[in-house]
Structure 1
Amino acid sequence: MGKLTGFIDYKRENKEERDPAQRIQDWQEYDAPFSDEVLSRQGARCMDCGTPFCQMGEEIHGATSGCPIYNLIPEWNDLVYKGQWKEALNRLMKTNNFPEFTGRVCPAPCEGSCTVAINDPAVTIKSIERTIIDKGFENGWITPRVPKERTGKTVAIIGSGPAGLAAADQLNQAGHTVTVYERDDRAGGLLTYGIPNMKLEKDVVERRIRLLEQEGIDFILNTEVGKDISAEELKHTYDAVLLCTGAQKQRDLVIEGREADGVHFAMDYLKGSTKKLLGSEVDGEQSIDAEGKDVIVIGGGDTGADCIATALRQNCKSIVQFGKHPKLPLVRTEANMWPQYPNVFSIEYAHKEATAKFGEDPRQYSIQTKRFVKDEQGNLKELHTVEMEKVQDENGQMAYREIPGTEKVWPAQLVFIAIGFEGPEQEVLDSFGVETFNQKADAKYGKFETSEANVFAAGDARRGQSLIVWAINEGRELAHKVDEHLMGSTVLPSYLEV
């Protein structure tokens, strides 16, 4: 695949980004597309691997390695190298329903498992994927695929995030009549209201939703199950009901002063900020503005970085991000060897922006928040922290211990808690009579059934908080299972049969 000596002849070229100091003045995507010439060279770097680990899609020590939707990466890299963009699009669409999403927001575990990455920087797989699909839309190669025949079977999907959309797309193409229910005013789930515009512009999401509608999928918005429509009505109306609600129960930080006005969940902030940007109605809890405030983000992941980028665009006074863990190493350790996902230090888009505005990286490592302190009016005014160190306890297990004398007081009028999600919101499960489930151990065997007849689940609601590529994987596998359930056999592909 690619040029036989491409990985020797060409170096990795990273995507161009708009100047950090300039881009925080707007909400447009922060990076710029590669030219065809550059991407041809990058496609040429793909080796003729005997085993392309980039597309293996496995979890090693709890982290994803390779592509969980098994993209045919070497094949479309080769086609891009040869300038055969339409053929590359055809190969890409065989495994991925929404490359315009994964090509923008996926953390690219495929690149961490790229064979070139054993000794050199990986092939720019993610950028190539994004450009293939963008060219498909720009050149009119992507048109509505309306099924020629309908099966007479009806399916309701609760939730319009990537898992729900993938399941809807697959089942619609199989000929079933699909209706997607979404409680928000726009479809897309976290693609719309969880990922900021500068990472994924919303016209990209809306373009895909319009295409799915043209193909026959019905979207019913502003409709919450258990409130606006009952679970019993859905089960009576449809031949199958699919729960793809995500894992939106946010993990809280239950410490002294948590009730202070100014302490918020990260997702409430991101959702409200995007709603305001799009002109949608924002309720009180999500009407948060960082302008002129000292902001602290608790949590070192991508959601925390998105809060930084959002607060910068709202002209915050200062910004700090707390991480529980020590600073990552610059290169892989012996405990994190290829093809595992590389747990190494990186500078994300938001950190570059904060550095450009305030002159330093906003991240603080090995920090434990002890308490929030409010003023007489109940407004947050500061928080107290202590530094932590990782030590081995008497049982030989690694644990965190406070370092005496490292207590510190931080001024803050806004704090965003971004420490992950606990699982699906229980209300929807209760309305269907579905027991709390976590079938992650059974994921590879395709067990998407719940305890209720004709009710299925997939995505983060089933396996817990995960990556967009796992959500697409789950949605496609769920569609395969439901099609088989409804028809006795299935015309849909399964990753489990690869």
Structure 2
Amino acid sequence: MAKQPMLKFVQIERDMPSKRDATDRKEDFDEIYAEYAAAKAEEQASRCSQCGVPYCQSHCPLHNNIPDWLRLTATGRLEEAYQISQATNTFPEICGRICPQDRLCEGNCVIEQSGHGTVTIGSVEKYITDTAWENGWVTPGMPQHERNASVGIIGAGPGGLAAADMLRRAGFGVTVYDRYDRAGGLLTYGIPGFKLEKDIVMRRVDQLEKAGVEFVLNCDVDADIFAAIHAEHDAVIIATGVYKSRDIQMPGSGLAGVEKAIDYLTASNRKSFGDAVEEFDSGRYDANGKRVVVIGGGDTAMDCVRTAVRQGATSVKCLYRRDRANMPGSQRETQNAEEEGVIFEWLSAPKGFTGDDHVEGVMVQKMRLGQPDASGRQAPEVIEGADYVEDAELVIKALGFEPEDLPKLFGQADLPVTRWGTVKAAFRTGATDMDGVYAIGDIVRGASLVVWAIRDGRDCAEAIIERFDGKTAIAAE
């Protein structure tokens, strides 16, 4: 009888890849997790229970065939594992690094529900694709046949790139327009290298270029440019993401040294590329030697605090108005930040900033959790008389993002938006009420996860392919 390669979760304990010591890793922007060795990847993949109803798969926005590629990995069939992984996910090595697996696939792993540690799905996914790159199994998605149709994509983030990949494979001419000088969106400029090293993103962009996708960079789309894009292409996908930072207006908000998270992270990532960044070199976005306070409790706040540590901040504190159990950011990232010396001030919110011309401190008011609000979460309430001042020379506001006013920016009054400013688009297809115009990702959902943007990009591309295949069939008749 053949030896059972799976169901080893009883004999084998969960084992994550080794993590660099906090003292060492906070000195650079390199990724903090090591790679699995082949034997360890096979061992950890073999813990999968191959359950009949794979909740890991159903709770993955891309519905990745996780049990299948875990079994293939456990039996050493890595190229097949990569092909299965790539079939549903345009960028598995990116999702393996930055997806919040603790809230998605791993958080719904059946063996964890039965008292055993979850399968290390994200780490195995990363291992499979990194191995595929090393062995040359990842190749440009060249189409078998060219179509006499083109698609313009506004935004080179994960959603736009996922759509570009699928459309190019289907033979469409694809042009991606982006305001930045490099493609990748937040993958490139919003997420620090210790979570996602930039060569990982750039090699995917390079593959798309080799497949024939054209990139028009440093292109800030306005009314005239949008009109030109709309006229030039058979379909247009809006994949701009949401880049307008939420703000708080309170005493001292305009002081120098009170900065937006996206500007701070972009400057840091540009330095990692070796760019000359005046705002960083002048000290504005450099935390070195400063007491830093970050306001917010999401993943962007975690990126900011961990970046400040690596820049050499004297101290780094994070203010969040709820407690640890109610924070929206990844618990894994919070633990990593604490290991690196970040101090979290739970149930704390700013009420203003002190200083004359430059910020010198944050006026903090202590909170407690009261009755649940409309969302079901306990609403924070101010504790009277518990205010204090937290000294700081750099304050970073990581309060989330909102959509820009695209109808005004693009000169398209007919572009339908919601009361939140996001674009109204059909579920799954991304089609808007404007003929030939689609919208995907955060500009539709609001600030969300990279994996959801990839899902939207793939779904939209599939809808466009189906639409044009239908037209071709009708014309042939």
Q: Is the shorter-chain TM-score for this pair beyond 0.5, marking a shared fold?
A: yes
Match of 1:400 in 2: 380
Match of 1:334 in 2: none
Paired residue for 1:350, among 308, 329, 337?
Answer: 337
Runs of 5+ unmatched residues, structure 2: none
Match of 2:305 in 1: 308
Match of 1:336 in 2: none
Instruction: State yes or no: 1:215 paired with 2:214.
Output: no
Q: Cα offset for 1:348?
A: 3.4
Residues 397, 314 of structure 1: CA spacing in aligned structure 2 closer, same or farther, 3 A cutoff? closer
Q: Cα offset for 1:26?
A: 1.6
Instruction: State yes or no: 1:363 paired with 2:344.
Output: yes
Match of 1:189 in 2: 185
Matches within 5 A, 1:396-475: 398-426=378-406, 430-433=410-413, 434-437=415-418, 445-475=427-457
Separation in structure 1 between the aligned mates of residue 107 and residue 372 of structure 2, nearest angstrom: 32
Residues 307, 329 of structure 1: CA spacing in aligned structure 2 closer, same or farther, 3 A cutoff? closer
Q: For 2:88, what is the secondary structure of its paired residue?
A: coil
Separation in structure 1 between the aligned mates of residue 4 and residue 404 of structure 2, nearest angstrom: 43
Separation in structure 1 between the aligned mates of residue 304 and residue 333 of structure 2, nearest angstrom: 17
Paired residue for 1:387, among 362, 366, 385?
Answer: 366
Matches within 5 A, 1:131-170: 131-170=127-166
Q: For 1:76, what is the secondary structure of its paired residue?
A: helix
Q: For 1:328, what is the secondary structure of its paired residue?
A: helix
Cα deviation, 1:177-211, whole Å, max 9, x if unaligned, reads: 00001111111000000000111111111111111
Instruction: State yes or no: 1:322 paired with 2:303.
Output: no
Q: Cα offset for 1:31?
A: 1.3
Structure 1 letter corresponding to 2:470 = G
- TM-score for both structures, normalised by structure 2: 0.91
Paired residue for 1:86, among 73, 79, 90?
Answer: 79
Of all paired residues, the percent bearing the same amino acid is: 39
Residues 486, 233 of structure 1: CA spacing in aligned structure 2 closer, same or farther, 3 A cutoff? same
Separation in structure 1 between the aligned mates of residue 94 and residue 408 of structure 2, nearest angstrom: 26
Paired residue for 2:25, among 23, 28, 32?
Answer: 23
Cα deviation, 1:431-472, whole Å, max 9, x if unaligned, reads: 333232479999884251223221110011111111111010
Matches within 5 A, 1:280-319: 280-282=275-277, 284=279, 288-319=285-316
Structure 2 letter corresponding to 1:8 = V
CA RMSD of the aligned region, Å?
Answer: 2.8
- TM-score for both structures, normalised by structure 1: 0.87
Runs of 5+ unmatched residues, structure 1: 57-65, 331-340, 355-360, 492-498
Q: Cα offset for 1:111?
A: 0.3
Match of 1:272 in 2: 267
Contact 2:152 2:237 in 1 (8 A): yes
Contact 2:365 2:383 in 1 (8 A): yes
Contact 2:291 2:316 in 1 (8 A): yes
Contact 1:294 1:413 in 2 (8 A): yes
Contact 1:380 1:414 in 2 (8 A): yes
Residues 139, 103 of structure 1: CA spacing in aligned structure 2 closer, same or farther, 3 A cutoff? same
Separation in structure 1 between the aligned mates of residue 454 and residue 325 of structure 2, nearest angstrom: 29
Separation in structure 2 between the aligned mates of residue 163 and residue 200 of structure 1, nearest angstrom: 17
Q: Cα offset for 1:284?
A: 4.2
Paired residue for 1:44, among 43, 46, 50?
Answer: 46
Match of 1:233 in 2: 228
Match of 1:333 in 2: none
Q: For 1:93, what is the secondary structure of its paired residue?
A: helix
Q: Cα offset for 1:72?
A: 0.4
